[in-house]
Amino acid sequence: MSEEAVVALAAVTVLGVLQQAYFSLQVIYARRKYSVSPPATAGPPEFERIFRAQANCSEYFPIFIAVLWTSGVFFSQGLSSVCGLLYLYGRLQYFHGYSESAQRRLAPLYFSARVLWVLVGFSLLGVFFSFCRVYLKVDLLRGLGSALGLV
Amino acid sequence: MSEEAVVALAAVTVLGVLQQAYFSLQVIYARRKYSVSPPATAGPPEFERIFRAQANCSEYFPIFIAVLWTSGVFFSQGLSSVCGLLYLYGRLQYFHGYSESAQRRLAPLYFSARVLWVLVGFSLLGVFFSFCRVYLKVDLLRGLGSALGLV
Amino acid sequence: MSEEAVVALAAVTVLGVLQQAYFSLQVIYARRKYSVSPPATAGPPEFERIFRAQANCSEYFPIFIAVLWTSGVFFSQGLSSVCGLLYLYGRLQYFHGYSESAQRRLAPLYFSARVLWVLVGFSLLGVFFSFCRVYLKVDLLRGLGSALGLV
What is the reported pLDDT for A151? 52
| Residues comprising chain C, all counted | 151
Residue C114 annotated among the catalytic residues of the structure: no
Q: What is the mean pLDDT of residues B2-23?
A: 96
- The percent of residues in chain A predicted with pLDDT above 90, rounded, is 84
How close is the nearest chain C Cα to the Cα of B144, in Å?
20
What is the reported pLDDT for A150? 64
CA angle A65, A66, A68 (to 5 degrees): 60
CA angle B81, B87, B89 (to 5 degrees): 105
Q: Does A56 touch chain C (CB under 8 A)?
A: no
What is the reported pLDDT for A129? 95
Q: Which of B104, B105, B133, B142 is catalytic?
A: B105
Exposure class string for B40-49: b at 16+ Cβ within 10 A, else e: ebebeeebbb
Q: Which residues of A touch B21 (CB under 8 A)?
A: 63, 120
At residue C150 the predicted structure's pLDDT band, cuts being 50, 70 and 90, is low
- Coil/strand/helix, residue A130: helix
Q: What is the mean pLDDT of residues A44-56?
A: 96
Q: Which of C31, C49, C91, C105 is catalytic?
A: C105
Q: Compare CB distances from C17 to B45, B63, B98 and report the shortest one's residue.
A: B63
What is the reported pLDDT for B150? 65
Burial class (CB in 10 A: 0-12, 13-18, 19+), C2: exposed
Closest-CA residue to C84 (of C119, C113, C123, C127): C119
What is the reported pLDDT for C142? 78
Closest-CA residue to B67 (of C77, C80, C65): C65
Longest dimension (CA), chain A: 67
Q: What is the mean pLDDT of residues B116-121?
A: 98
How close is the nearest chain C Cα to the Cα of B77, in Å?
15
Asked if B84 and B9 touch (Cβ cutoff 8 Å), the reply is yes
Closest-CA residue to C15 (of C61, C53, C75, C47): C61
Asked if B49 and B26 touch (Cβ cutoff 8 Å), the reply is no
Q: Does B4 touch chain A (CB under 8 A)?
A: yes
Q: What is the mean pLDDT of residues A47-68?
A: 97
Q: Please answer yes or no on whether C39 and B48 come within 8 Å at the CB atom.
A: yes
Sorted by where each starts, the structural domains of chain B and their CATH numbers stand as 3-126 (1.20.120.550)
Q: Compare CB distances from A58 to C49, C59, C98 and report the shortest one's residue.
A: C59
Q: Does B124 touch chain C (CB under 8 A)?
A: yes
Q: Which residues of A are catalytic?
A: 32, 105
Residues with Cβ within 8 Å of residue B60, at least 6 apart in sequence: B91, B112, B116
Q: Please answer yes or no on whether B134 and C41 come within 8 Å at the CB atom.
A: no
Asked if A51 and A30 touch (Cβ cutoff 8 Å), the reply is yes
Residues with Cβ within 8 Å of residue A18, at least 6 apart in sequence: C120
Q: Which residues of C touch A10 (CB under 8 A)?
A: 70, 73-74, 123, 126-127, 130
Q: Does B66 touch chain C (CB under 8 A)?
A: yes
Instruction: Give the number of other Cβ atoms within 10 Å of residue C61's Cβ.
Output: 21
ipTM of the complex: 0.92
Asked if C14 and B130 touch (Cβ cutoff 8 Å), the reply is no
How close is the nearest chain B Cα to the Cα of C148, in Å?
32
* Chain B interface test: which of C1, C4, C6, C65 (most B C-beta within 10 Å): C6
Q: Which residues of C touch B66 (CB under 8 A)?
A: 13, 16-17, 65
Q: How far apart, in whole angstroms, are the C-alpha atoms of residue B95 and residue B50? A: 7
Q: Which residues of B touch A66 (CB under 8 A)?
A: 13, 16-17, 65
N-term to C-term CA, chain B: 25
For B30-56, the pLDDT digits (tens) are 999 999 998 899 999 999 999 999 999
Q: Which residues of B touch C18 (CB under 8 A)?
A: 120
Burial class (CB in 10 A: 0-12, 13-18, 19+), B100: exposed
Rounded to 10°, the helix B77-100/B45-74 angle is: 170
Q: Compare CB distances from C14 to B59, B62, B124 and report the shortest one's residue.
A: B124
Return the amino acid letter for A51.
F
Asked if A56 and B41 touch (Cβ cutoff 8 Å), the reply is no
Q: Please answer yes or no on whether B67 and C17 come within 8 Å at the CB atom.
A: yes
For C55-93, the pLDDT digits (tens) are 999 999 999 999 999 999 999 999 999 999 999 999 999
Residues with Cβ within 8 Å of residue B124, at least 6 apart in sequence: C14
Query: Which of A74-83, A131-140, B81-90 is predicted with the least confidence, judged by mean pLDDT?
Result: A131-140
* Chain A interface test: which of B13, B14, B60 (most A C-beta within 10 Å): B14
Longest dimension (CA), chain C: 67
Nearest CA in chain B to C65: B66
Asked if A19 and A88 touch (Cβ cutoff 8 Å), the reply is yes
Q: Does A2 touch chain C (CB under 8 A)?
A: no
Q: What is the mean pLDDT of residues C17-40?
A: 96
How close is the nearest chain A Cα to the Cα of B4, in Å?
6
Q: Compare CB distances from A131 to B7, B18, B39 and report the shortest one's residue.
A: B7
B&C contacts, CB < 8 Å = 61
Q: Does B74 touch chain C (CB under 8 A)?
A: yes
Q: What is the mean pLDDT of residues B103-131?
A: 97
* Chain A interface test: which of C123, C128, C132, C139 (most A C-beta within 10 Å): C123
